[in-house]
């Protein structure tokens, strides 16, 4: 039995309708539909969405846990949404929001323009070094944040670059001075 798949999904604040293997949901932030594979079935029990398996094999357990996690992320995103924070560390490094674009100054000879997808919004602090990314789609949010981080990954000697808030950067010692 799948450890993740058997956990019930809390659907408070979201209206959920189960029609066979099609699950429709509507929350404050978004609405959508998710289709379960034929090996799984869903039902609403006591304010929770419970996904059960029709067969008990190792392959079914993997599909069960994966689909439960994906569906739970969609339902949480429909109700409250997701948020990630990114910190830009370095002298003169910053980001500026210009409509649906971000413009980065990251120590290169040029500025970098980054197009944001429609489902992701970004806010910066007044210095431009703390980005707050929000979306109701967890997958799109993670992809955008990883692409932003890849523009200038944190380097281990000075620690400058783009990093997630709470991320631990392993620092290395520089050259030792000779006596």
pLDDT band of residue 1 (cuts 50, 70, 90) is: low
Structure tokens at 151: 């523009």
Q: pLDDT digit string (tens) for 83-97?
A: 999 999 999 999 999
Q: pLDDT digit string (tens) for 6-35?
A: 899 999 889 999 998 999 999 998 899 999
What global pTM score does this model have?
Answer: 0.86
The residue to which tokens 């039902």 are assigned:
43
Which residues are within 8 A (CB) of 52 and not within 5 positions of it... i.e. 6 or more apart?
Answer: 40, 41, 42, 43
Q: Which of 90, 92, 95, 94 is nearest to 116 (CA)?
A: 95
Catalogue all structural domains in the chain, each as residue range(s) with its CATH number. 9-79 (3.90.930.12), 82-164 (3.90.930.12)
């Amino acid at each position: 039995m799948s450890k993740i798949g058997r956990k019930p999904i809390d659907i408070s604040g979201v209206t959920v309708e189960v029609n066979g293997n099609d699950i429709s949901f509507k929350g404050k932030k978004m609405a959508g539909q998710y289709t379960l594979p034929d090996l799984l079935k869903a039902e609403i029990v006591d304010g929770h969405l419970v996904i059960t398996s029709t067969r008990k094999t190792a392959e079914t357990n993997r599909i069960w846990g994966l689909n439960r996690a994906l569906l739970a992320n969609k339902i949480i995103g429909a109700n409250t949404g997701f948020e990630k924070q990114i910190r830009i560390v370095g002298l003169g490094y910053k980001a500026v929001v210009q409509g649906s674009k971000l413009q980065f100054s990251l120590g290169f000879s040029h500025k970098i323009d980054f197009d944001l997808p429609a489902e992701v919004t970004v806010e910066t602090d007044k210095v431009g070094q703390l980005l707050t990314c929000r979306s109701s789609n967890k997958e799109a949010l993670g992809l955008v944040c990883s692409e932003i981080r890849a523009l200038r990954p944190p380097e281990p000697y000075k620690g400058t670059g783009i990093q997630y808030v709470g991320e631990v950067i392993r620092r290395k010692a520089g050259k030792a001075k000779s006596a």
